[in-house]
């Protein structure tokens, strides 16, 4: 049983763009090179980019008119606010997951004895 890998894609995309503006594939490659277990795919990242742009959390520009399909993405001020909210949500989830892991480990040790 696995969770949905795409649930927090927007948060990670915003995090990557907070470091520097980038193209869609560059964002995905950056995440794959930095994250211990990046389960995101190209389609998921581009869906997140589209939604983030629609919500005003990022902006997109086309720096080279000869490559109109290649957009350069940048985080907006509203996106930085959303990133802070994602941080708070993920911190809470992290604490709950840590509780689960610690409790499970304790139960496994008790079960083995």
Alpha-carbon distance of 41 to 43, in angstroms, equals 6
Q: Is the pLDDT of residue 112 over 80?
A: no
How many residues in total does the chain contain? 113
Share of the chain above pLDDT 90, in %: 81
Q: Is the pLDDT of residue 87 over 80?
A: yes
Domain 9-112, CATH? 1.10.10.10
Alpha-carbon distance of 58 to 78, in angstroms, equals 8
23-67 pLDDT, tens digit per residue, is: 999 999 999 999 999 999 999 999 999 999 999 999 999 988 887
pLDDT of the residue at 1: 44
Domain ranges in the chain are 9-112
- Cα angle value 21/52/81 (rounded, 5°): 80
pLDDT of the residue at 4: 61
């Amino acid at each position: 049983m696995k969770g949905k890998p795409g649930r927090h894609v927007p948060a990670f995309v915003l995090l990557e763009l907070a470091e520097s503006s980038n193209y869609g594939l560059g964002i995905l490659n950056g995440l794959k090179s930095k994250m211990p277990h990046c389960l995101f795919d190209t389609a998921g990242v581009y869906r997140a980019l589209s939604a983030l742009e629609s919500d005003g959390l990022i902006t997109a520009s086309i720096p080279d008119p000869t490559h109109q399909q290649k957009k350069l993405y940048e985080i907006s001020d509203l996106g930085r606010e959303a990133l802070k909210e994602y941080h708070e949500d993920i911190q809470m989830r992290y604490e709950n997951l840590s509780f689960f892991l610690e409790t499970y480990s304790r139960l496994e040790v008790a079960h083995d004895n």
